[in-house]
């Protein structure tokens, strides 16, 4: 059993991109560089739902791709179960790629339009060497786990709704029997009414399978709802991290305060609704106000309404 704090660690991760350069700059090697990720250190506990939140362009997707090893960092280390993943080779590297799966925002382009859902999932389980009747059994279980009817296995991606496609994307990731799911803006392309359902599905998978989830969103409301830890990113850096309680009630960084200020009233956060005593501990009017925003939602309908209103507000910062 791995010690909690050492499950997944990012150590001073940096990713630089070279901007468009002139011939002279190319010759003199003085091309301007931008740090998409600028020295991020994080430790993610096993079984956590870690929410990474920040406005568009702050480096969330770059960090996600580094975590799953789709791209290499310019500097720094990704340490999984005590091992620097850059050093993994052969079978160990394959095991890492199975164990850490990614779910994408754009289900339209991440699923091959010419493959029926059955084939998408069959290929995924085949990557683990499972075929035939065993595969069929696993595929049915996967559909069940993500709340989809097995009749949909016959369909092509375009014959599904956006929410159903996102469930297939999650099922495809689960087919690898992962330990960690990195979900990059998994609900940003969905209708408000579906966002809550997919977020709840992720929460259920976390509880039932013990899956560690890194949930990335530009939307603090999405993250606050289910996450056990939150990291706030701004301009390539993690400027604040803590429990939802700490981040929502005692934000230290001015950028976090700005994000919080943009969250409208009536926004549901189940985690926080149960902590109605917090305002008494904190005392100040500001805390009560913030709790009111995150803690007074009544059921999913109101949650959806709150998220809807937040969408309108976040268009300003996104």
Ligand X SMILES: Nc1ncnc2c1ncn2[C@@H]1O[C@H](COP(=O)(O)OP(=O)(O)O)[C@@H](O)[C@H]1O
Please identify, among the stretches 11-19, 53-61, 248-256, 304-312, the one whose residues bind Mg ion according to the rule CB under 5 A: 53-61
CA separation for the pair 120, 157 (Å, rounded): 10
Residue from the set 61, 101, 256, 271 that interacts with Mg ion by CB under 5 A:
61
Shortest Cβ 54–ligand X spacing (Å): 6
Read off the tokens for 193: 């009414």
Instruction: Identify which of residues 201 and 216 has a Cβ nearer to Mg ion in the complex.
Output: 216
Shortest Cβ 318–ligand X spacing (Å): 9
Shortest Cβ 222–Mg ion spacing (Å): 13
Shortest Cβ 195–Mg ion spacing (Å): 16
Sketch the per residue contact string, 215 through 244, with ligand X: x for CB under 6 A, - otherwise.
------------------------------
Instruction: Identify which of residues 60 and 167 has a Cβ nearer to ligand X in the complex.
Output: 60
Sketch the per residue contact string, 43 through 62, with ligand X: x for CB under 6 A, - otherwise.
-----------x-xxxxxxx
Instruction: Identify which of residues 122 and 230 has a Cβ nearer to ligand X in the complex.
Output: 230
Burial class of 106 by CB neighbour count within 10 A (0 to 12, 13 to 18, 19+): middle
| Residues in region 155-214 near Mg ion by CB under 5 A | none
Instruction: Identify which of residues 54 and 186 has a Cβ nearer to ligand X in the complex.
Output: 54
Q: Are 60 and 184 in contact (CB under 8 A)?
A: yes
Asked if 318 touches ligand X (CB under 6 A), the answer is: no
Residue 57 contact partner, candidates ligand X, Mg ion, none, CB within 5 to 8 A by sort of partner: ligand X
Shortest Cβ 233–Mg ion spacing (Å): 11
Sketch the per residue contact string, 6 through 45, with Mg ion: x for CB under 5 A, - otherwise.
----------------------------------------
Q: Which residues bind ligand X (CB under 6 A)?
A: 17, 36, 54, 56-62
Q: Which residues bind Mg ion (CB under 5 A)?
A: 61
């Amino acid at each position: 059993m791995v010690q909690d704090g050492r499950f997944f660690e990012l150590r001073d991760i940096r990713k630089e991109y070279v901007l468009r350069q002139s011939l002279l700059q190319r010759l003199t090697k003085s091309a301007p560089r931008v740090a998409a990720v600028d020295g991020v250190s994080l430790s993610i506990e096993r079984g956590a739902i870690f929410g990474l939140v920040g406005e568009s362009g702050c480096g969330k997707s770059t960090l996600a791709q580094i975590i799953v090893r789709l791209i290499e960092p310019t500097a720094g280390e990704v340490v999984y179960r005590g091992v620097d993943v850059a050093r993994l080779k052969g079978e160990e590297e394959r095991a890492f790629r199975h164990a850490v799966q990614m779910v994408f925002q754009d289900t339209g382009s991440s699923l091959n339009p010419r493959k029926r859902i059955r084939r998408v999932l069959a290929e995924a389980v085949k990557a683990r060497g499972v075929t035939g009747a065993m595969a069929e059994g696993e595929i049915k279980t996967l559909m069940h786990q993500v709340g989809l009817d097995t009749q949909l296995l016959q369909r092509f991606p375009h014959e599904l709704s956006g929410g159903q496609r996102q469930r297939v994307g999650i099922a495809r990731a689960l087919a690898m029997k992962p330990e960690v799911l990195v979900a990059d803006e998994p609900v940003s392309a969905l209708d408000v009414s579906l966002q809550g359902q997919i977020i709840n599905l992720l929460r259920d998978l976390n509880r039932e399978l013990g899956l560690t989830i890194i949930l990335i969103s530009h939307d603090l409301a999405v993250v606050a709802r289910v996450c056990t830890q939150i990291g706030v990113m701004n301009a390539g850096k993690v400027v604040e991290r803590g429990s939802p309680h700490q981040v929502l009630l005692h934000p230290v960084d001015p950028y976090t305060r700005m994000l919080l200020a943009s969250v409208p009233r009536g926004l549901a956060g189940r985690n926080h609704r149960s902590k109605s005593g917090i305002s008494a501990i904190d005392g100040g009017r500001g805390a009560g106000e913030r709790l009111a925003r995150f803690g007074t939602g009544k059921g999913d309908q109101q949650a959806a309404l709150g998220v809807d209103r937040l969408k309108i507000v976040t268009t300003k910062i996104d």
